[in-house]
Structure 1
Amino acid sequence: MRRIGILKAERLVDLLNWIGFPAVTLYVVCMFIFPWIDGRGEWTHVQDVWNRWQGLNVGMLAFISSITAFNISRFNAEKQREREFLASKAFLPAALSELVSYFKESASVFIAGWELAPGQQPNIVLPILPGEYKVVFGNCIRHAEPEVGEYLSKILVKLQVHDARVRDFINRMHDESDVSPEKHNLISYFYRLGELHALAGKLFDYARNLQEFDSSPLEWEDFRNAYGNLDIWVDEIRIDDQMNLEAFTKRAIDRANTDT
């Protein structure tokens, strides 16, 4: 957004409205109501007041015109932003579907690692992160309301971390000196992947204009559905009563709710 001096244009309009509306109200009272009362309804008295304050009248008319023009400009800019966001949002379901396919491929990598016996060489192929989502997400973030933009940005950040995590995991699995499938780490990987899938899943109905945007914290049911869609069987991702996918996820949900 453009800046005027040290203020953003949006902030300047808000400041003008905050100052201007009380000032205009006071001006109307003093210039159009009080003279009639003070002059007991005599037209000549009202004219005399207006003539004496002619400079103020001209200045106030210019000020009112400026405020009106700024607000019309902001209204038109907001409508343009909404149109551009709707155009960008139309491609969001396809981008989300691409990401869901990528998530499923990533899940198969982690599942293969979980089932891998120590010392066994894996047959794992690196899932390729699709590229179309970057443009779609970028356009949506640029034109969306701040809450939606922050949500999409959060997905992007977590997605880049996940992609690096998958690459590192596959490199370690192909390293002959690495004889452990690192199941403790894999539980956290499953959790983070489920989180990404759940965050993306909450966007589908919004992207299709079926419901309002929902940025409420993820719950266990969101994760359970995500794990199921990724063919991650929660009961099988288990080391003991404390270190298993369900317990790990619920502890993470409790921490997130406490932080918020």
Structure 2
Amino acid sequence: MRKIGLLKSELYINIIKVIAWLFLLTYVPFMFVIPWFYGDWNYVHGVWHSWQSLNVGILAFLATVIALYVSRYQSIEHTKREFEGEKAFLPHALGELCKYLNSSALVLISVLPPVRGNMSSNLNIECPILPLEQFTVFKNCIKFAEPAVAKYLVNLLKLLQIHHSRLESICTQNYANAPYARSCLYNAAEIQALINELYDFARSEADFKAVELDWEMIRVAYRNLGVIYENIESLERYSREQLSK
């Protein structure tokens, strides 16, 4: 709803901008330039006096447009300040998510070696707790962020919740097979890679840049998670296949 409201606001502002320029391109030449070609100062003064009501209206319209742009500028600056304030908490939130992902990876690694494609039972695994309190930081950042940043954060949260739901199915149902656990492990690496690419922006050390994940990013993410992907059957092949989709 907020995005739709912003799009409508931008549309109205653009319409007003076009109308204002049309008025200026028509008004200025005919009111201030052309009259000088038809007479002296008295003639020009007479034109201005005859069109006094129009002149007052145009000035009022220009004052309104200027006020609109001043208000819009102040609103944009306010939003930027709010976002910078919320972004200050983002590095800590990302750090907490990294701890959660590391715990998730430990669970999945413990599942994979003994499974090797067979169903496992009675795993008795304790599921890591998703740090829901950090979601408030993401929510506030999304509220004030530019569309590209907001979209990135929304996608990150979506992947995180999907990952947690799948991890819970392993922990609570005492069920796992190698392909499923391998898929969950890749999801964890995918989220970790997105977090890695966001860190510099969160620390205000670089501008935001949307990225398309590649194998090098995923490889580094596995290392961050303590996953030795070479020791897990088909994990590298599966990861490369997912990236190519």
Report the TM-score when normalising by structure 2.
0.92
Which one of the candidate residues 248, 251, 260 is aligned to 2:238? 248
Who is 2:145 aligned against? 144
List structure 1 runs of 4+ shifted beyond 3 angstroms.
1-4, 7-10, 117-121
* Structure 1 residues 56-67: aligned runs within 5 Å: 56-67=54-65
Deviation string for 1:36-86 (max 9, x for gaps)?
Answer: 1232xx111111111222222111111111111110000000000010000
* Most deviating of 89-98 and 30-39: 30-39
* Structure 1 residues 1-260: aligned runs within 5 Å: 8-39=8-39, 42-117=40-115, 119=120, 121-173=122-174, 181-238=176-233, 244-255=234-245
What secondary structure sits across from 1:8 in the alignment? helix
CA–CA separation in structure 1 for the residues paired with 2:147 and 2:124: 43
* Most deviating of 71-80 and 112-121: 112-121
- Cα contact 1:2–1:9 (8 A) shared by 2: no
What secondary structure sits across from 2:168 in the alignment? helix
Query: How far apart are 1:131 and its partner, in Å?
Result: 2.3
Report the TM-score when normalising by structure 1.
0.87
- Cα contact 1:105–1:127 (8 A) shared by 2: yes
What secondary structure sits across from 1:231 in the alignment? coil
- Cα contact 1:141–1:152 (8 A) shared by 2: yes
Aligned-residue Cα RMSD (Å) equals 1.9
CA–CA separation in structure 1 for the residues paired with 2:137 and 2:96: 12
Query: How far apart are 1:116 and its partner, in Å?
Result: 2.8
* Most deviating of 78-87 and 244-253: 244-253
User: Could you tell me which amino acid in structure 2 is paired with residue 17 of structure 1?
Assistant: K
CA–CA separation in structure 2 for the residues paired with 1:185 and 1:194: 14
Deviation string for 1:176-221 (max 9, x for gaps)?
Answer: xx5xx41011221111111111111111111111111121201111
- Greater RCO structure (CA 8 Å; 6+ sep): 2
CA–CA separation in structure 1 for the residues paired with 2:75 and 2:149: 18
CA–CA separation in structure 2 for the residues paired with 1:189 and 1:2: 32
Query: How far apart are 1:234 and its partner, in Å?
Result: 1.2
User: Could you tell me which amino acid in structure 2 is paired with residue 60 of structure 1?
Assistant: I
- Cα contact 1:88–1:140 (8 A) shared by 2: yes
Q: Which has the higher helix share?
A: 2
Gaps of 5+ in 1: 239-243, 256-260
Query: How far apart are 1:3 and its partner, in Å?
Result: 9.3
What secondary structure sits across from 1:116 in the alignment? helix
